Structure 1
């Protein structure tokens, strides 16, 4: 179901807070839709909002965006194919954690079947798969520079949620105890350790992981981000909307 297309002229009369709130209302409950539908939804419905927000971006200079993004965010809607590479992503337990040391983590819990209430009755017996992609971030020559440096995986009891505190503790502990090891592996360009993934998911993920994405904040402030990414210049751009959690 496609939302109502709004004239760009009408959007110019909205306040920035109104624009952001309308976007969040439009995408509410849509992140689990098929990728093709989300791509069409951005093109048909969200593009005028993105263009208007871009004109109002309070931090258009990438160097000024670094201190703004530090903290914990949740991606609430995205057209990045990787987000659906693995089945069963728990959307409210997905986080982006940016730290002052120049590293950040994309962390998500995957619990296949979590949308079925009858399975939740057995959650004490079921496992969840927690997945972290570690990346470095910086601004070079006026552009964001994002590099994948490592992955972490863990099976945990599904009944224990992956809270913000647990996600932060996991990421900070990995950085504190294993960062040098991870960086050395990244430099060696060796095979990814993805034993916990099936072969099809592993192939899809490796293709995405090996790329150095183009990264741009269409709009960013202290509580809302609209990010444009591309695996390579000729690829269709993807868009992610994230809100601050901490």
Structure 2
């Protein structure tokens, strides 16, 4: 079913991601970096919403298979483009983190033993390759934390906030300059993505253009455009 609130989350995630990547054109624009901290938690929310729509005992469906295959395909397509744009990056593109996050979210949502195994194996992979993954283990855990917060409420909302901030502390400069204004603003922006995402989801009455499968192409294509402009 089409969800205007979910489309609004996706549009906000994509636009803030583009704003973040415009730093390749204007490296000194720290404000774009701060704004870009909204993108990853919102993409994780979109994954959590999609996973949460399925029945807890129905993991092995055509829809889920198509979902993970598309994620893997575009992770493969995006990596050389990302590496071309940012050859000095110590991490993969964001896509492998999101793929592992999807698998962890399956483990949280689905009651099957095999789903738990998949989720735990993905957490282990996130821990083992944390230094190579954008946003690290915290980023891998974030979609599952969104699911837990939406189902349990209350203090559970602290978990995605803490993970959103922790994912940004995989950046060594931020970690070594915790009291710097840019670090404080970065962590505040990452944490604020959680209430913002929850608020956006509730705007079901808005008319929002649908983000369909072309959204997968948006990531590598916008990187190519930015590389061309640079």
Q: TM-score, normalised by structure 2?
A: 0.30
Higher relative contact order (CA 8 A, sep 6+): 2
Larger Cα-atom Rg: 1
Greater fraction of residues in strand = 1
Greater fraction of residues in helix = 2
Q: TM-score, normalised by structure 1?
A: 0.29
